Amino acid sequence: MSPKDDVQFLALLVHRGYLERNHAEKLLPRLKQGDALDPLLTELLGWDGDRVDKLRVTRAGEDPRIPGYDILGRLGVGGTSEVFRARDKKSQGTVALKILNVRSTRQKRALASFVEEVRTLTSLDHPGLCKGHGIKKSGDTYFAVLELIEGRTLLEHIDEEQSFPEDTALRIVLEVADVLAYLDREGFVHRDVKPGNIMLTSSGQVKLIDLGFCAKKGEFNPEGTATGTGEYLAPEQAMGGACADLRSDVYSLGATLFQMTVGRLPFEPGDDEDVLRKHVLEALRSPELKGRGFSHQLHYFIDKMMSKDADHRYQTWEELLDGIRGQLEGKLAADWRGATTPRSNSRRRT
Task: Give 15's contacts (C-beta < 8 A, 6+ positions apart).
Answer: 60
Cα→Cα distances 191→18, 210, 235, 243, Å: 31, 10, 13, 10
What pLDDT, on the 0 to 100 scale, is given for residue 309?
Answer: 92
| Three-class secondary structure of residue 141 per DSSP | strand
What pLDDT, on the 0 to 100 scale, is given for residue 232?
Answer: 92
CATH of domain 151-334: 1.10.510.10
| 132-142 pLDDT tens trace | 999 999 988 99
Q: Half-sphere exposure of 105 toward its Cβ, with a 13 Å CA cutoff?
A: 17
Model pTM greater than 0.85? no
Q: Half-sphere exposure of 296 toward its Cβ, with a 13 Å CA cutoff?
A: 0
The pLDDT-based confidence of 333 (bands split at 50, 70, 90) is: low
Distance CA 55, CA 51 (A): 6
The pLDDT-based confidence of 349 (bands split at 50, 70, 90) is: very low
Region 54-59: what's the mean pLDDT? 94
Q: Nearest to residue 19, comparing CAs of 275, 207, 28?
A: 28
Q: Where in the chain is the domain with CATH 3.30.200.20?
A: 69-146
What pLDDT, on the 0 to 100 scale, is given for residue 283?
Answer: 58
What are the residue numbers of the active site? Answer: 192
| 188-216 pLDDT tens trace | 999 999 999 999 998 989 999 989 889 99
Q: Where in the chain is the domain with CATH 1.10.510.10?
A: 151-334
Q: Residue 160 pLDDT > 90, yes or no?
A: no
| 243-283 pLDDT tens trace | 889 999 999 999 999 999 998 888 776 545 555 565 564 65
Q: Nearest to residue 176, comparing CAs of 219, 226, 126?
A: 126
The pLDDT-based confidence of 62 (bands split at 50, 70, 90) is: very high
* Percent of the chain predicted with pLDDT > 70: 86
| Three-class secondary structure of residue 277 per DSSP | helix
8 A C-beta contact, residue 102 and residue 114: no
Q: What is the CA radius of gyration of the chain?
A: 25
Region 162-185: what's the mean pLDDT? 94
Give 21 or 283, the one with higher predicted confidence. 21
Ramachandran bin of 2, using left for φ above 0, alpha for ψ from -120 to 50, beta for the remaining angles: beta
Q: Nearest to residue 259, comparing CAs of 317, 203, 207, 193?
A: 193
Q: What is the DSSP letter of 101?
A: -
| 107-154 pLDDT tens trace | 999 999 999 999 999 999 999 999 999 999 998 899 999 999 999 999
Class of domain 69-146: alpha beta
Q: Residue 339 pLDDT > 70, yes or no?
A: no
